[in-house]
Amino acid sequence: MGDASPNVHVLDAAYKPFPTFSAWLRQVRVESGRWDRYQESLKESSQLSPEQLARAKNIAKRAAAFDTGAIEGLYDSDRGFTYTVAFETAAWEAALNQKGEQVRPLFEAQMAAYDYVLDLATKAEHMSEAAIRFIHEVVCRAQVVSAILCKRRSSGYGPVFGASSFWLVTLCPDSWNYSAGEDRRQGRAQRVPREP
């Protein structure tokens, strides 16, 4: 068997450094047409009324919130239906109701979560671990009850996955908290023997 290690001197000799920024600019042709169009569009949008800007923000938020549920597999959607909901076109509520009785509460929970995220982004609210937990609570508010197996931490402050002592944790629509063996509004946890 031969020596498979590379010859560092050969590799160093073959290395070509990245060009300096000024050298790179001399070699690159920048097509500014698209940039100019978008820059002009931004100038025009600065002339929009506050009501028009608020409407545009609401449409974008509604589209993002509705698509969130579709991405998560909570319901089906397509571009046309997302636009129907986002633009609040005629009979959008009836069309939404035809998707199923659970779709509207899911959408409203996602809208509430997006509102809170916007508050965080604009610093109206402080970013913290509690804020992230609250986002999760809000966005999951309308979801159906699920159950998972997890190990309770020795400190008692939450689940740890993949160990020998398991708890069945029932996650309810309004919270993902759990309790050790007692019924609460947030959920129920009970010791489950580990299967071999």
User: pTM above 0.85?
Assistant: no
Distance CA 88, CA 57 (A): 13
Task: For residue 37, tell me if it sits in a domain.
Answer: no
135 with 154, same domain: the answer is: no
78 with 134, same domain: the answer is: yes
Task: For residue 9, tell me if it sits in a domain.
Answer: no
User: For residue 54, what is the enclosing H or E element?
Assistant: helix 50-71
123 with 173, same domain: the answer is: no
168 with 112, same domain: the answer is: no
Give bridge partners of residue 139 from the DSSP assignment: none
127 with 151, same domain: the answer is: no
Question: What range defines the domain where residue 82 resides?
Answer: 50-139
164 with 118, same domain: the answer is: no
Please compute the mean of the pLDDT values over residues 132-149 and round it to a whole number: 79
Kindly tell me if the per-residue pLDDT of 178 is higher than 80. Answer: no
Distance CA 180, CA 157 (A): 10
150 with 135, same domain: the answer is: no
Kindly tell me if the per-residue pLDDT of 175 is higher than 90. Answer: no
pLDDT tens digits for 31-71? 889 889 989 988 887 788 889 889 999 999 999 999 999 99
R_g of the chain computed on alpha carbons: 27
Task: For residue 131, tell me if it sits in a domain.
Answer: yes
Distance CA 173, CA 107 (A): 14
Kindly tell me if the per-residue pLDDT of 153 is higher than 80. Answer: no
Task: For residue 15, tell me if it sits in a domain.
Answer: no
157 with 185, same domain: the answer is: yes
115 with 152, same domain: the answer is: no
157 with 133, same domain: the answer is: no
123 with 180, same domain: the answer is: no
Distance CA 77, CA 19 (A): 47
In this structure, of 26-35, 95-104, 124-133, 137-146, the range with the lowest mean pLDDT score is 137-146
The number of distinct structural domains making up the chain is 2
pLDDT at 152: 52
Task: For residue 40, tell me if it sits in a domain.
Answer: no
Distance CA 51, CA 143 (A): 33
Distance between alpha carbon 39 and the CA centroid of its chain, in Å? 29
Among 116, 141, 142, 115, CA closest to 131: 116
